[in-house]
């Protein structure tokens, strides 16, 4: 919503160049603060406990998101940046992942806005359909929680879809979703490396092979994200202030997304076309079915278990 409001105000704000510095700061530095504080929602003990069920499943859903996303993106002749923004949104944690990876791969603001808007639309569809499908298929609380936690993108949507089934399923879904959030770390590092390598290739060939400057490309805010997770996991951060820090993180993310919207016009989004939307829909749908197929193939977590 913040993104859409920002885009609606773009025609007004774009007239005043003196606002550019503040808007850019909010879209970058405030975004990083929000991501760092997002670590307060994670606890390594919970991640390890649910990981024995979810990690295997996530390997398949993430491989599907990136594999299918890049394959279809090439068929559609789309640029690799928006293709991978849509893939990372589906694979990890929706708009937060897009906002984190976008600056790393130096994506255009309109590409970031498009990917986040697509995520919002897909989440609405899944929140409406998935609880009904889970009940119709007779899924267990654990199976449904794993399903929702691996296929729904935004955290608020995971909460809505998970607890619509049962409290136990909702608890599992939220933990799985937060575990997915940890994958922001390796993917940010991977995309930093890819971007640096691609930029090096575009330089004058006479300069020879350009060595990669890891110090330059390393996203240092990821270290602070891990520090916050560690502080929460060890109990150094008191439970009493966790809600405050969590709300602060959410506020920073909303501010950053609004800033991205302020720098993006609806006409720029329209010029991107419908191909990315179609790609995102196909990838999201594939991930939904792959998650179910993996559970069925293992013969676990499916039939109802006593609550």
Q: How far apart are CA 247 and CA 229, in angstroms?
A: 16
307 lies in some domain: no
Q: State which residues form the domain around 205.
A: 2-298
Q: Which residue has the tokens 């879904």?
A: 173
Q: Total structural domains in the chain?
A: 1
Q: What does the pLDDT average to over 128-157?
A: 86
Q: Transcribe 201-266 into DSSP letters.
A: HTS-GGG-PPPP-HHHH--THHHHHHHHHHHHHTT-S-GGGHHHHHHHHHHHHHHHHHHHHHT--H
Q: Is residue 144 part of a domain?
A: yes
Q: Under 8 Å CB-to-CB from 242, ≥6 apart: which residues? A: 40, 41, 232
- For residue 220, tell me if it sits in a domain: yes
**Which phi and psi angles does 44 have, rounded to 5°?**
-60, -35
Is residue 306 one of the residues assigned to a domain?
no
pLDDT (tens digit per residue) in 198-229: 777 766 444 555 555 555 555 567 678 888 88
H helix runs in the chain, sequence order: 2-13, 20-25, 31-38, 44-75, 80-88, 95-104, 109-136, 141-151, 155-163, 167-181, 184-201, 214-217, 221-233, 242-262, 266-272, 275-298
Angle of helix 95-104 relative to helix 184-201, nearest 10 degrees, comes to 30
| Residue 304 lies inside a defined structural domain of this protein | no
Q: Stretch 272-287: mean pLDDT, rounded?
A: 85
Does 34 fall in a domain?
yes
* pLDDT digits 0-9 by tens, 152-205: 887 767 877 888 898 788 878 878 887 888 788 888 888 888 888 877 776 644
Within-domain flag for 66: yes
Q: Is residue 303 part of a domain?
A: no
pLDDT at 61: 92
pLDDT tens, position by position, 47-65: 777 777 788 888 899 999 9
- Of the two residues 7 and 145, the one the predictor is more confident about is 145
pTM (global) more than 0.85: no
């Amino acid at each position: 919503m913040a993104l859409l409001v920002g885009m609606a105000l773009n025609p007004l704000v774009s007239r005043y160049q003196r606002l550019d510095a503040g808007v850019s700061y909010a879209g970058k530095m405030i975004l990083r603060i929000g991501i760092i504080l997002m670590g307060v929602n994670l606890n390594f003990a919970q991640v390890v406990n649910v990981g024995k069920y979810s990690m295997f499943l996530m390997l398949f859903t993430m491989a599907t998101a990136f594999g299918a996303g890049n394959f279809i993106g090439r068929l559609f002749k789309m640029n690799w940046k928006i293709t991978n923004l849509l893939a990372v949104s589906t694979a990890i944690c929706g708009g937060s992942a897009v906002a984190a990876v976008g600056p790393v791969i130096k994506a255009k603001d309109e590409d970031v806005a498009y990917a986040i808007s697509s995520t919002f639309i897909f989440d609405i569809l899944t929140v409406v359909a998935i609880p009904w499908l889970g009940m119709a298929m007779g899924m267990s609380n654990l199976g449904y929680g794993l399903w929702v936690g691996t296929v729904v993108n935004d955290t608020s949507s995971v909460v809505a879809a998970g607890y619509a089934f049962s409290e136990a399923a909702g608890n599992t879904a939220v933990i799985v979703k937060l575990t997915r959030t940890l994958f922001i770390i390796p993917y940010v590092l991977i995309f930093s490396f890819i971007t640096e390598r691609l930029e090096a290739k575009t330089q004058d060939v006479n300069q020879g092979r350009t060595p990669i400057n890891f110090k330059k490309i390393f996203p240092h805010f990821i270290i602070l994200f891990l520090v916050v997770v560690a502080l929460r996991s060890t109990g150094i951060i008191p439970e009493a202030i966790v809600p405050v820090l969590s709300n602060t993180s959410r506020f920073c993310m909303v501010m950053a997304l609004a800033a991205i919207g302020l720098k993006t016009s609806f006409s720029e989004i329209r010029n991107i076309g419908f191909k990315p939307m179609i790609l995102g829909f196909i990838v999201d749908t594939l991930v939904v079915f792959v998650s179910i197929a993996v559970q069925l193939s293992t013969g676990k977590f499916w039939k109802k278990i006593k609550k």
